[in-house]
Amino acid sequence: MYTSTRSQLNLHTHQISYLLYYSPPRTHNSFHHSSNQTGNSPSIQFTSPTIMSTSQTILELSDEKKTEDYISPVENKSNLQSLRMQEKIALQSIHKLMTKEMIQIDQWLSVLCKTFEDLAYPPLHRVLQATTYFNDELQMWYETTKHEINNDWSNFCDRLKQYALDRQMNPSTWNHSLSTNNDILSFEYLIGTKFIRYSGIGDAKDWLLQTMNQFKQCGLRRLEQLQAIPFLLVDTTYLWHVENIDLIVSFELFSKLFLQKFTCTPLQPQDIPYGDTDKTLSVVTGSSFTSHLQKTIADEIIKKPTYFRGSKDDVHDWLDKLEQRFKMVKWSDEQTLQYISIYLQDDAQRWWPQASSVIKTWSSFTEAVTHAFGSTEAQQLAFEQLKWYKQTLIKILLNIMIPLWNYLHVALQDPKTTDLFLLIARKVEDALSLTSPNNDIHPDHVTVNVATHSKPLTRPFIQQQSFRKFPQNTFQQLSGQQFRPNYPHTTRMEILLL
């Protein structure tokens, strides 16, 4: 009888019954090694049932282990799905925070915090998850403060409580128009999420009606609607708004100008006769180009008007140019008369306020302006203006010459001494030099006696050193007889002024 087996068991020390329920630990390699040895041994001619049972038991245990390893990920996935379902149910149980419920913001935040703690929700994701329960107002608030919050849950809770408290203390301040940068950002966010922007493509009238209905739903007033216009326009429409921003002072005026600019009545396909498609399209294109040209010329007429200054310009030529431009833009007589004051300057501008009270039509304006500046009345106006210039010049000359004449009146006095004579002589020369435009008038040109025109003023050549050789009384006698005529104080300058 064999005392050993392929598993190297000693049958003398192990009972068969024990081997049925126990097999020694063996590796897969040793099993194959033993099998190879057994297969190569020619002395073994039978297979023990006990050994086969042991081998089957080992294989079954190995298969069970492999089965357990394969089933484990499936169970983990099932558990994960179960946890996610529980998390979803817990998050959905939190109701949306409405405006009226902001009074109980502490209670709402406590429920939210407890839910996050029970679910072990990551702190970095709590702020973003909490914003999913916000209404439009709170969404705008979060957009303006999210950079300051920076995903900090405690900071988020504190700021939300402060916002709710401020809103409760001052409820009226949250319904006014834009005032701060945060309000502008909030307003822009509202426009971007609730409204459709217009770029010039599509039906302008339908877009405007849709926008007005959206304004009513959001509760925006007229002033806020006017402030929302720049956020609603893009591309070509925004550039048009910038060009006409000075004219848009109300939402009604914006609606009028907007419809005039972008409303058109396109030709329907069924209205185009068969075979005339190219011709009709060319007509529509030409009409569109003409309309655009008319608008361009109208803008040019208003921005760069052809001015009329009255008597300085030709009224007939000005009227011809003006009427040609008005015909190109197809303005009515009422429109031309409404903007006519822009084109008047100087005399024409002074004439218009009084004349506008009786001028009600364009034809009456042309007749009145032609009669005022294209006839003898214009010449009379020019003569009156020249007369006024002349009187103004004479007045200026009198204001200058009267003080000068007073100076001459004081200067022409009788000398009593030699020094006084020399002093007066210098004053006469200075006075004569002042009365001459070129400072070259000879003293003989001054007439001393206007009544007789008899004796011109002569001044003998006297050397200053010779005064010492003559007695003083002699010079006084000569000066008294020869140089003391009875002058009336009148000069040629006075005659010229008169």
Q: Do 309 and 346 form a contact (C-beta atoms < 8 A)? A: yes
> Which two structure tokens, joined as six digits, stand for 495?
């005659």
What 8-state DSSP symbol labels residue 483?
A: S
Q: How far apart are CA 339 and CA 352, in angstroms?
A: 12
Residue 62: pLDDT over 60: no
20, 46 contact by CB (below 8 A): no
Residues 316 and 373: beta-carbon distance below 8 Å: no
469: confidence class by pLDDT, cuts 50, 70, 90: very low
Q: Taken in order 101, 106, 109, 115, is the CA torsion positive or negative? A: negative
C-alpha span between 316 and 15 (Å, rounded): 141
The label of the residue with tokens 């203006």 reads: 385
Closest to 369 in 3D by CA, of 439, 408, 304, 318: 318
Residue 4, SS3 per DSSP: strand
* Inter-residue contact 455 to 448 (CB < 8 Å): yes
pLDDT in tens, 265-299: 444 444 444 444 443 333 333 444 455 555 666 66
**pLDDT at 475 exceeding the cut of 50:** no
Do 319 and 348 meet the contact criterion of CB atoms below 8 Å apart?
A: no
Task: Return mean pLDDT, the chain.
Answer: 67
Q: Which among 161, 239, 170, 254 has a CA at the least distance from the CA of 200?
A: 239
Residues of the chain with pLDDT > 70, as a percent, come to: 54
Please say if the pLDDT value at position 90 is more than 60: yes
Is the pLDDT higher at 152 or at 434?
152
What pLDDT was estimated at residue 299?
66
pLDDT for 8: 56
Q: How confident is the model at residue 432 (pLDDT cuts 50, 70, 90)?
A: low
Cα-only R_g, the chain: 57
Weakest-pLDDT range from 119-123, 165-169, 315-319, 386-390: 165-169
Instruction: Look up the pTM and report it.
Output: 0.26
